[in-house]
Each structure stands twice: as structure tokens, then as C-alpha cells.
Structure 1
Amino acid sequence: MPATRTDSSTWAQQCPLCGQRNGCAVAQGLPAAQCWCITADIDPKALQRLAPAERGQRCICPACGRAEPDPGARPNRGD
């Protein structure tokens, strides 16, 4: 059964995009400075995928926060 807002501990620790654990330090009762997202480059497009009601309320996981490769970019072949 998916977590609901009534189960706030579990709800806060789940990525709203994929449902996996988000690794949020704050949701685990740790200082925000210990969170993975403090030093990560998070793709702004990933944050835009959040429902408006969840923005600023729930954290995404590292996998969902990674930038998607640009399909138009040329691969680096070492030329």
C-alpha cells in the first residue's frame, strides 16, 4: 500500500516521482546540511515534474534528480 500523508514519516522519506526512498536527511531527523541534495546538481526539469502541492514539501531521490541526457547532444568520442 502506498504511503499517505497520514503516515508522514514514510511519506516524507519516499520520492514522489518514483516511490523509492529519497534519502532525505531532514525526513530522517538529521540536519539539512547532511542531506545528499546539498552538494548535488539537481535537474530543474525533475523538480518541475512534482505536483504543485508537493513542491517544497517532499524530496525527490538522487536517481530522479539526475539530469537526463540531452538526446540532441553528440557523444564524446575522444576526437
Structure 2
Amino acid sequence: MPAAPAPLPPVDPARCPLCGALNTCAMAAGAPAARAADCWCMRTPVAPAALARLPAERRGLACLCPRCAQG
């Protein structure tokens, strides 16, 4: 019987799930809702190729960093 795949490490909402760098997300840092809406991650389009590299079960749990978001 093949071995089960190793579980993924827990998601840190302050780090990019692709490269592990700080994602500089205001929401992850606990900013008030009014300031969080102005975060770079809410105004910047994320490259489809970047999202494609992210496993489906990891989407929506942490922001990518600005560099990875560009693709």
C-alpha cells in the first residue's frame, strides 16, 4: 500500500503560502476594517498563474506576497 502524502504545514496568514515571505497584508496584521480595505492585496490583481500554483485547499487562507501575486 502506498504511503499517504505528508500533511501540509499550517497556514500562517502573515506569510505568503507560495514562498513563505511576509505578505504585508493589513488584514492579516489585524488592521481595522477601514484600513484593511485599502491594503495592497485588495487593490492589486493576482496573476492567474500565481493562483494556479497554489493548491485549492490553500486558497483564501493567506494572501500571496506582492512578488508572488505578480506571477
Q: TM-score, normalised by structure 2?
A: 0.72
Q: Which amino acid aligns with 1:17?
A: L
Shift, 1:34, TM fit: 2.5
- How far did 1:58 drift? 1.4
Counterpart Cα distance in 2 of 1:16 and 1:62:
12
| Larger RCO, structure (CA 8 Å, separation 6 or more) | 2
Q: Which amino acid in the other structure matches residue 14 of structure 1?
A: R
Structure with max Cα Rg: 1
Name 1:22's counterpart in structure 2.
23
| The one of 43, 56, 59 aligned to 2:60 | 56
Give the percent of matched residue pairs that are identical in Structure 1 and Structure 2. Answer: 43
TM-score (norm 1): 0.65
Matches within 5 A, 1:1-79: 5=10, 11-30=12-31, 31=33, 32-67=36-71
Runs of 4+ in 1 over 2 A off after TM superposition: none
Structure 2: gaps spanning 5 or more residues: 1-8
- Cα distance in 1 for residues equivalent to 2:60 and 2:43: 18
For the residues of structure 2 that align with 1:50 and 1:41, how far apart are their CA atoms? 16
Please list every run of 5 or more consecutive structure 1 residues that lacks an aligned counterpart in the other structure.
68-79
RMSD: 1.7
